[in-house]
Chains A and B, each alone.
Chain A
């Protein structure tokens, strides 16, 4: 009865975890100390959100009829599911490449998360609503921070502007999927297409100040929400899951 809710919760968790994992790659390697701290902090927030969602998903699995011998936990869900079982959007698994791509990916995603969590706060599922409410403060900061950086890089030097154009060229194609509802989203009563116009308005506003063009309608890649990912995800999971796979049934 709650399968769609489990899938939806996992989708929310996977989004946060995979982006958190990507951002964490910057830790110790950022362009300047203050921003190294900022991106690590965002990573930490996202891992925290992922934990809340995974814990809730584990609880839902436990309540459902399908009880396996190994009870689900936040870690079994993050560490022992396969590439095809992950439900994150393609956007969050894209590589860092350079600071411009990291910034733009964060801006696109935080812009979405900000709208989503505002919506989710009103959801009938009180647990999801509570997590969304708790996370909204963090996301508000992520959105402000990434917007400021998009503007700084877009309107900075010729090189930074060029790199932002490149990032838009790489990442725009992954923004359509976010607003195309998967079955489990529809059943959970959250239709992301409803807030796509607001998302686009924010992009226009920030890009305008950053002197960056908003792309014309282009073909959009999709599949992540239902487990058909880009080739990157397999490598992310290989690293993320290594210890749990190499030393099964251990406590850490």
Chain B
């Protein structure tokens, strides 16, 4: 069959909402885009463990410590499913990790911001996981089967995390004067970076059109961002806190909240590696990987010895 026919067949499947599976024929660019996106997503889960992990040892109560441990462990689990989903496209986990460490692969820029106080753990759950869910709910219907199925599991846990984050802030917002200040301060610092998570404006986004046609994405960056603003602008009322945007206002005509302009210079600086923690995050990941090398080697050597012994026994 000529390549055009394969392509037509492929696009027909997409148009008819039939999932693409690992052994199906797919255009090379579709494979590459999915590997890039799924591995980037997996890396984000793994790097995302660092800013939150930063507060496990200092969590303010045993209950909070247990919840945070479970949460960060969930993120590791998400990383695991996503690496597995990406591996079905023909790239090994080790290759993907090497690309992360070399700087070739990206991860979500949001994790290049520091967690300075306990309230940041609440703000990450509420705003960062909240923003991630917008994207992830859409991805449960993405065209690549293994990715869509991984997302269904992940979404369930993420919405739980978002509620936990909100609850951390709710307690602070009803607490002492110092706790209220801590709460507002965290919202001030995380709000704009959370909006940046949706990526460049549609007019500037390079990968969007093709990804929409292939139904890897089903909503544009700006649509998702608007949905997020609409949701958070309502939820913050319960906290009695403010979003740090003077231009935030309900627009009755659009039936959406209007909001101010993102600092795109900051956005691109963080993407380029100049965020407050880019260097530390990548170094922490590299260090964990390098320090673990002897452990992985030992496990492999032992597994080999065992296999050899069993072979000898069988012989």
List residues of A whose CB falls within 8 A of some B CB: 17, 21, 24-25, 27-37, 40-41, 43-44, 47-48, 50-51, 54, 74-75, 78-79, 98-99, 151-153, 155-157, 159-160, 163, 239-240, 242-244, 247, 250-252
- Return the contact of B292 from the options A48, A99, A247 (Cβ within 8 A): A99
Minimum CB–CB distance for A80 against chain B, Å: 12
Q: Which applies to chain A's interface (DSSP): helix, strand, loop or mixed?
A: helix
Q: Are the CB atoms of B62 and A75 closer together than 8 Å?
A: yes
CB nearest neighbor in B for A50? B62
What residues of B have a CB within 8 angstroms of the CB of A51 in the complex? 62-63, 66
Of B83, B175, B287, B295, the most chain A CB neighbours within 10 A belong to B295
Known: A40-B73, A160-B294. A31 touches B58 (CB 8 A): no
Q: Cα distance A47–B292 when bound, in Å?
A: 25
List residues of B whose CB falls within 8 A of some A CB: 46, 49-50, 53, 56-66, 69-70, 72-73, 76-77, 79-80, 83, 118, 171, 175-176, 178-179, 284, 287-288, 291-299, 301-302, 305
* Across the A-B interface, the 6 shortest Cβ-Cβ residue pairs: A31-B292, A156-B298, A160-B298, A31-B295, A28-B49, A252-B60
The contact sample of 12 A-B pairs, CB cut-off 8 A, is A24-B57, A24-B65, A25-B57, A31-B288, A31-B296, A35-B295, A37-B77, A40-B72, A51-B63, A153-B298, A156-B299, A243-B58
What residues of B have a CB within 8 angstroms of the CB of A50 in the complex? 62
What residues of B have a CB within 8 angstroms of the CB of A155 in the complex? 302, 305
What residues of A have a CB within 8 angstroms of the CB of B79 in the complex? 33
Q: Are the CB atoms of A40 and B76 closer together than 8 Å?
A: yes
Q: Cα distance A37–B83 when bound, in Å?
A: 15
CB nearest neighbor in A for B77? A37
Minimum CB–CB distance for B270 against chain A, Å: 20
Q: Are the CB atoms of A44 and B295 closer together than 8 Å?
A: no
What residues of B have a CB within 8 angstroms of the CB of A159 in the complex? 294, 297-298
Q: Cα distance A119–B235 when bound, in Å?
A: 51
Q: Cα distance A213–B303 when bound, in Å?
A: 21
Q: Are the CB atoms of A157 and B297 closer together than 8 Å?
A: yes
Q: Are the CB atoms of B302 and A151 closer together than 8 Å?
A: yes
Q: Cα distance A33–B289 when bound, in Å?
A: 10
Minimum CB–CB distance for A53 against chain B, Å: 11
What residues of A have a CB within 8 angstroms of the CB of B305 in the complex? 155
- Return the contact of A78 from the options B62, B72, B294 (Cβ within 8 A): B62
What residues of A have a CB within 8 angstroms of the CB of B176 in the complex? 247, 250
Q: Are the CB atoms of B171 and A40 closer together than 8 Å?
A: no
Minimum CB–CB distance for A249 against chain B, Å: 8
Q: Cα distance A32–B60 when bound, in Å?
A: 29
